[in-house]
Amino acid sequence: MAETIFSKIIRGEIPCHKVYEDDLVLAFLDINPLSVGHTLVIPKEPAATLDQLSDESAAAIGRVLPRLSRAVLAATGAKDWNILQNNGVAAHQAVFHVHFHIIPKHDDAGLGIGWKQRNFDHAQGKALAAQIAAAVKG
């Protein structure tokens, strides 16, 4: 994986406003926040996108996400928030090191979502679900 700005932050070569660290995970404030308290949670493992992340690092992030979310809410007074995780340029990923955004919602500040839902095709859905289930088994 190519070196990213987050590798430098993990190594302490670039400063950050750190809120949490353990052996596998680092969390710090986003430098261009969508709202006050916008926090990034990253694995120390250098995986570009989530599908490339080890189960161990994924579990480590999953273990602390609820606790970090509670802490961000407590510190900012927000009651609502989004978890966002982008993969790939078309999906708005700018830094190619896995990261989860914790984005508090404060009035009009926070994550805006375009949520254009489509009709469900049950025949296509049945075939697709079987295909995905088979791929999960590997």
Q: If we measure between CA atoms, which residue out of 69, 73, 46, 71 comes closest to residue 57?
A: 46
Which one of 99, 101, 106, 122 is the catalytic residue? Answer: 99
Q: Which is nearer to ligand 5GP, 59 or 94 (CB)?
A: 94
Phi, psi of 82 (to 5 degrees): -115, 145
CA 80, CA 60: separation in Å to the nearest integer?
A: 23
Q: Which residues are at the interface with ligand 5GP (CB under 6 A)?
A: 5, 14, 16, 28-32, 40, 86, 92-95
Distance set, CA 92 to CA 37, 58, 89, 108 (Å): 20, 21, 5, 21
Written as six digits, the tokens of 66 are: 């609820």
At its nearest, how many Å lie between ligand 5GP and the CB of residue 50? 11
Closest separation between CB of residue 95 and ligand 5GP, Å?
4
CB–CB of 104/78 below 8 Å?
Answer: yes
Closest distance of CB 119 from ligand 5GP, Å = 29
Q: Is-catalytic flag, 99?
A: yes
**Distance separating alpha carbons of residues 121 and 36, to the nearest angstrom:** 40
Cite the active site residues.
99
